[in-house]
Amino acid sequence: MKQEDAIDAFSALAHETRLAVFRLLVREGPEGVPALEIARRLAVKPSTLSGHLGILKRAELVTATRRQKEILYAPNFASVDLLVRFLLQDCCGGDATACGSDASTAAGLMVVKES
């Protein structure tokens, strides 16, 4: 992952509506939710939502698949995983025990990094 891609992903999530969309999709799971249903549930105008979905899609945080007339949006968990790994890469110069000592929860993320 390049820095630029990480910035696209963080920018995409750094917005009230887009973060709400992503979390809604995470809750709903891999099946996906149609654009217009997302718009209705979050009380956002369809044209506005379309722009936001485009940004999330370009950042590869969501996938879009057509089902008849509708387009279903679903979260891309693999991208979140890559993003977190990128953020914590080479933590403490590679000696992960050095950061685990003061933040027990961070150790959990280190395990992810190693897996």
Q: Which residues bind DNA (CB under 7 A)?
A: 11, 14-17, 34-37, 39, 44-55, 64, 66, 68-71
Structure tokens at 12: 């995409």
- Residues in CB range of 90: below 8 A, 6 or more apart: none
Q: How far is the CB of 18 from a copy of itself (least distance, A)?
A: 9
- Distance, in Å, from the CA atom of 39 to the CA atom of 51, rounded to the nearest integer, reads 12
Of the candidate residues 2, 27, 66, 69, the single one contacting a copy of itself (CB under 8 A) = 27
Task: Give 36 or 86: the residue with its C-beta nearer to a copy of itself.
Answer: 86
Q: Which residue has the tokens 């009230």?
A: 16
Task: Report the partner that residue 93 touches, choosing among a copy of itself, DNA, none (CB closer than 5 to 8 A by kind).
Answer: a copy of itself
Number of H helices, E strands in the chain: 7, 3
Site for a copy of itself in 84-103 (CB under 8 A): 84, 87-93, 95, 98-99, 101-103
Q: How many residues in total does the chain contain?
A: 115
Instruction: Give which of 88, 41, 37, 84 is closest to 61, Cα–Cα.
Output: 84
Of the candidate residues 2, 21, 28, 35, the single one contacting a copy of itself (CB under 8 A) = 28
Task: Report the partner that residue 69 touches, choosing among DNA, a copy of itself, none (CB closer than 5 to 8 A by kind).
Answer: DNA
Task: Report the partner that residue 3 touches, choosing among DNA, a copy of itself, none (CB closer than 5 to 8 A by kind).
Answer: a copy of itself
Please give the sequence-ordered ranges of beta strands (E in DSSP) within 37-92, or none if there are none. Answer: 62-67, 70-75
